[in-house]
Amino acid sequence: MTAPRAVQPPVAITGVGVLTPLGDSPGAVFAALMEGRSAVGEGGAKLAEIRDFEATKYANIRGMRMYNRTTRLAICAAKLALSDAKIEAASLPGEDLGVLMASTYGNMDVLLEYDRSLVEKGVQRTNGALMPLAIPSAPGAMVALAFGARAFSMTLGGTGSSFLDAIALGARWITDGRARACVVVSASSPSPEIVLAASRAGILSATEAPRVFDRRASGTAFGEAGVAFVLELAESASSRGAEVRGHVRGYGAAFAPEPSRFGGALERAIRGALRDADMTPAEIALVSAGASGLPAFDRAEAMGIHAALGAGAGEAPRVPVTAMKGALGETLDAGPGLQSLVALGSLDERRAPRIVGLTDPDVEGLHYLTQEEVVAGDSALVTSVSWSGACSALILSGGAHGRA
């Protein structure tokens, strides 16, 4: 007997909002990636930023000017996603809307500003309004406040894995009836201090753009982005006339305490996602990987994918593997959201973009995309290996692929 899938009834993705240096719509971003464009400059430590970003272009929220750039990006991405889902937050009871924010460092610049002011100016001359905005959950709380979401508001940290974890949690809570709709959102605008710390730790490439999955990789580069998905039951979307962009099918997670064991942890996470979705590796049509140009992490991710999905002895590698961080940079918690956007776009368009910066694969045995390729199937796997050792895997199906 086949075990029942964990997520029942179908949980649909009905809205997608995105802001990146390559565009501010899913179609524009996907088209840029298909063209092989990159927002990352030749100086690997340079932030790939969204130029001329003006929050009021996307959302008119009271008090927005007080929020840091990460929070403004998150609010704008959430607004775009809700609009895409044809949900007007003002007309939706707050008890029907929840927010899950993926953020590890989104408050860091405000915290540093607040602490610096206390030291340099003293308590009496420090802006007290900064204090509540300096806590780790502040960006997510401000998103919930902006749209009156009262069903739940939670922030998940973990850098590379948190967005996938948030999608899985949101799908579970929608199924459980805790909200009619859930916004899963993240944004990244690394502060100068984070960039400096990463540079000193040897994480950033000092001489070139990231070489993802490549034998000559020497580090990554930061990018800036905001991304949000709206989750709800498929029947709720159809009754409103909203288009279903995709479905959440399966999720798995595992942890390893050291880089040498990350590959094994990701393999367990992928196998868990396949069990959760009641699928076999043969049903996966594409992998959207989180590789960013950090050799140890990219190697571990490639090995984990190969162990879980790779071809057997004498067989050619089958599942196409793409990765977008060579073009958009390392966007921390927002990265897996962008990977998921690429996965959904590839399933919808039946073609996937190549991996920017890959010329000489470090780990053999995978079908890395070095050129545009047709996607023949309805389901994609999104993988992530965080710097802390948390590994997550999410399986998505396209908008036309429902479940009984």
Which structure tokens are listed for 199?
Answer: 């540079």
Residues 83, 229, single domain; the answer is yes
Question: β-strand 286-289 against 320-323: which pairing, if any?
Answer: parallel
* pLDDT tens string 141-160: 999 999 999 999 999 998 78
Least confident of 18-22, 186-190, 304-308, 400-404: 400-404
Confidence of residue 42 (pLDDT cuts 50, 70, 90): very low
Instruction: Tell me how crowded residue 360 is: count the other CB atoms within 10 A of its CB.
Output: 10
Confidence of residue 357 (pLDDT cuts 50, 70, 90): confident
139 pLDDT more than 90: yes
**Is residue 152 in a domain?**
yes
Closest residue by Cα to residue 159 from 329, 323, 389:
389
CA separation, residue 342 to residues 18, 58, 111, 402 (Å)? 11, 22, 33, 19
Residues 223, 287, single domain; the answer is no
Q: Is the peptide bond before 210 cis (omega within 30 degrees of 0)?
A: no
Share of the chain above pLDDT 70, in %: 93
- Predicted local distance difference test score (pLDDT) of residue 400: 63
* pLDDT tens string 86-105: 998 888 888 999 999 999 99
Work out how many domains the chain is built from and give that number: 2
Single pTM value for the model? 0.93
Q: Contact, 29 vs 23, CB < 8 A? A: yes
Residues 179, 281, single domain; the answer is no
Q: What is the CATH number of the domain that holds 269?
A: 3.40.47.10
Which structure tokens are listed for 15?
Answer: 């809205």
- Predicted local distance difference test score (pLDDT) of residue 295: 93
- From 240, 261, 288, the end of a domain falls on 240
- From 222, 240, 258, the end of a domain falls on 240
276 pLDDT more than 50: yes
- Predicted local distance difference test score (pLDDT) of residue 124: 87
Buried b / exposed e along 314-353 (16+ C-beta atoms within 10 A): eeebebbbbbbbbbbbbbbbbbbbbbbbbbbbbbbbebbb
Which structure tokens are listed for 54?
Answer: 């003006």
Range of the domain at 213: 11-240
* pLDDT tens string 182-226: 999 999 998 888 888 988 988 988 667 789 999 999 899 999 999
Residues 134, 217, single domain; the answer is yes
* pLDDT tens string 292-341: 999 999 999 999 999 999 765 444 468 999 999 999 999 999 999 999 99
